[in-house]
Amino acid sequence: MTSQTITSAFPNPFVPGTLSRPAIIAIALVPCADYLLFDQKIGLSLFIFAVLLAIGSALARGALAAPGIPFLVLALLPLIESVGPLSIGFAVIGLIGFALTSLHPRPPHFLWFAGTGISWLYRDLYAAATRKRPAPATPLPWSGRLLQWLVPAVLFSAFLWLFSRANPLIEAGLAAMNPMIALAQINFGRLLFWLSVLSAVWPFVRPRLRRKPPTASATVVAAAPADGWIGLVLGPASILRSLVLFNGLFAIQSALDIAYLWNGNTLPDHLSFAAYAHRGAYPLVVTALLAGAFLIAATRKGGAAERSGLIRLLIHLWTAQNLLLVASSILRLDLYVAAYSLTYLRFAAFIWMLLTAGGLVLILVRMMFDKSNGWLITANLVNLAAALYVSAFVDFPGIVAGYNVRHSYEMSGSGTHLDLDYLKSLGPMALPAFDAYLVGVPAKPPIFTEACWDRDELADRIRTNQPGWRGWSLRRWRLDRYLTSPLVATAERQCAQAR
């Protein structure tokens, strides 16, 4: 699509005759956002506004852009489950893709849209203000234009004063127009919200692609020599030596993991399995990421790996060792969680380790099928997007709380004691875990009464903090239904007896 086509498809909305669609739709979306979002509990209302924004974007283009609707629906579904950073991020990506559907954008256009879209309104306003207009045949000097307003202004003021003296309603109206009184009535927070909404919706109702800057035909860029410093840093000799050293070092680490983690051999004195696992869980993931970056560079198109069978063999061997390294990291983290309970960070580390292992497998696939680095990056981004999308539907607080209760010392007879402060910090979604603990604990521990108080505080917070239909979400709906379950009544009876 040429820039001329883009210009004709999306004319300047401030030019007379073209204001009606994008500008009016953007202005109409502002009161919708005010009603749904301003000073309200955010939930279903954000999903509704996203749908309205998508409809406004389609109306501004004059078409529903049917090919982009399935992608938009998938992107907005996480908002129904729960409003959070992931669900909002997917909604923004879906809306950007829907807005650009008819323009056939590439990934750089998505990034440019997300990074600069908030400023498009002000750029268009500036363009409209500085747009050259046809000058009159005989322009008047500023003094002449001022004199043209002298008589109307003087007579208008005189008439207004006379009417105010004759009509008390006009007098009261003028008194109410006192600028200090008007300023006292203005909610500047709301004005800032309106301006932010208008700036945010503007790029969706008037999308455009990034235009390439003009290139000077006389500019000639000299090609870098193929055997320059890159040939020395990532040449066959450098890569071969690196792989020999890396494979030897990784073999030592893998042998230690096999001996102590996988076979359970006795560790040296003053070193527990939990401490051994904790020392290596996160550094090994960083190691695997650095290894992946080196593998990408070593297996680039036209690199040494394409010309040497030995280098390819060492790369396959080292990749296999990295996969074993990631597997050992997962086992280390599992041992550490078993000893010290589960947290958000440790849960995220599990997911990150799986993504790292997937990236290493993709490197092998890239070499086997002779794919480009662009294909490898795209495949990893798809994996990452899929993991984040699934995570948007996962109740992480409930999972973490349930795991910690089931594997606590009070419930299982092993592991660590239940950390009530952390359990409470997980928020209302931890209430089912509290109830499972209070009902299922074999013997009432010393912290039983404290757990009852924390549990009742969460339940009261849920019952009193009713968000209304604007704050509705599937997760909140499931929590409200849980409050009517028999387990809740049993837990409340247990607490009443304990007190």
d(CA 338, CA 332): 10
Angle, CA 497 vertex, CA 493 and CA 499 arms, to 5°: 120
d(CA 98, CA 109): 13
Prediction pTM value:
0.71
Long-range pairs for 189-198: beta carbons < 8 A, 24 or more residues apart? 190/34, 190/38, 193/33, 193/34, 193/37, 193/38, 194/30, 194/33, 194/34, 197/29, 197/30, 197/33, 197/34, 198/26, 198/27, 198/29, 198/30, 198/121
Of the listed ranges 35-39, 196-200, 274-278, 317-321, the least confidently predicted one is 274-278
- Give the per-residue pLDDT at 53: 92
Residues across the chain? 499
d(CA 49, CA 204): 13
Task: Answer whether 297's CB lies under 8 Å from 234's CB.
Answer: yes
SS3 call for 220: coil
Mean pLDDT of 175-192: 68
Residue whose tokens read 């045949």: 137
Per-residue CA distances from 414 to 166, 262, 357, 404, 405 (Å): 90, 21, 31, 12, 12
More confident residue, 226 or 325: 325
- Give the per-residue pLDDT at 430: 93
Q: Indicate the pLDDT class of residue 39, thresholds 50, 70 and 90.
A: confident
Angle, CA 386 vertex, CA 389 and CA 91 arms, to 5°: 35
- pLDDT at residue 141 tops 50: yes
- Give the per-residue pLDDT at 14: 43
- pLDDT at residue 173 tops 80: no
Q: What are 449-472's pLDDT values in tens digits? A: 899 999 999 999 888 888 888 889
Which of 473, 464, 468, 480 lies closest to 35, judged by CA? 468
What letter does residue 304 receive in the DSSP assignment? G
Q: Which residues contact 270 (CB under 8 A, 6 or more apart)?
A: none
Which of 465, 350, 447, 462 lies closest to 399, judged by CA? 350
d(CA 194, CA 215): 40
Q: Which tokens sit at 3?
A: 């820039």
Of the listed ranges 68-72, 193-197, 229-233, 409-413, the least confidently predicted one is 229-233
- Report residue 307: phi and psi, to 5°: -110, -5
> Average pLDDT of the chain?
77
Angle, CA 45 vertex, CA 483 and CA 50 arms, to 5°: 135
**Domain residue ranges in the chain:** 10-132+156-211, 230-391, 396-498
Q: Indicate the pLDDT class of residue 274, thresholds 50, 70 and 90.
A: low
Mean pLDDT of 415-438: 90
d(CA 379, CA 359): 8
* In 226-341, alpha helices (H): 229-233, 236-257, 273-298, 309-340
- Give the per-residue pLDDT at 10: 40
- Give the per-residue pLDDT at 288: 72
What letter does residue 426 receive in the DSSP assignment? T
Query: Distance between terminal CA atoms of the chain?
Result: 73
User: What is the signed CA dihedral for 282, 283, 287, 290, rounded to 10 degrees?
Assistant: 80
Mean pLDDT of 280-285: 64
Mean pLDDT of 321-346: 83
Task: Answer whether 26's CB lies under 8 Å from 124's CB.
Answer: no
Of the listed ranges 1-10, 35-44, 417-426, 450-459, the least confidently predicted one is 1-10
- Give the per-residue pLDDT at 217: 44
More confident residue, 497 or 231: 497
Q: Which tokens sit at 487?
A: 């387990």
- Give the per-residue pLDDT at 426: 92
Scored b (16 or more CB within 10 A) or e, 311-322 reads bbebbeebbebb
What letter does residue 469 receive in the DSSP assignment? G
- pLDDT at residue 230 tops 60: no
Per-residue CA distances from 123 to 175, 204, 474 (Å): 38, 15, 40
Amino acid symbol at 69: I
The burial of 28, by beta-carbon neighbours within 10 Å (0-12 exposed, 13-18 middle, 19 or more buried), is given as middle
Mean pLDDT of 420-425: 92
Gyration radius of the chain's alpha carbons: 32
- pLDDT at residue 401 tops 90: yes
Q: Indicate the pLDDT class of residue 7, thresholds 50, 70 and 90.
A: very low
How many distinct helices (H) and strands (E) make up the chain? Answer: 24, 0
- Give the per-residue pLDDT at 496: 85
Q: Which residues contact 495 (CB under 8 A, 6 or more apart)?
A: 438, 452, 455, 456
- Give the per-residue pLDDT at 327: 86
Q: Indicate the pLDDT class of residue 278, thresholds 50, 70 and 90.
A: low
d(CA 203, CA 327): 45
- pLDDT at residue 223 tops 50: no
d(CA 410, CA 478): 28
d(CA 223, CA 41): 58
Q: What are 49-73's pLDDT values in tens digits? A: 999 999 998 888 776 556 778 889 9
Mean pLDDT of 395-404: 93
Residue whose tokens read 């006192």: 178
- Give the per-residue pLDDT at 4: 40
Task: Answer whether 338's CB lies under 8 Å from 283's CB.
Answer: no
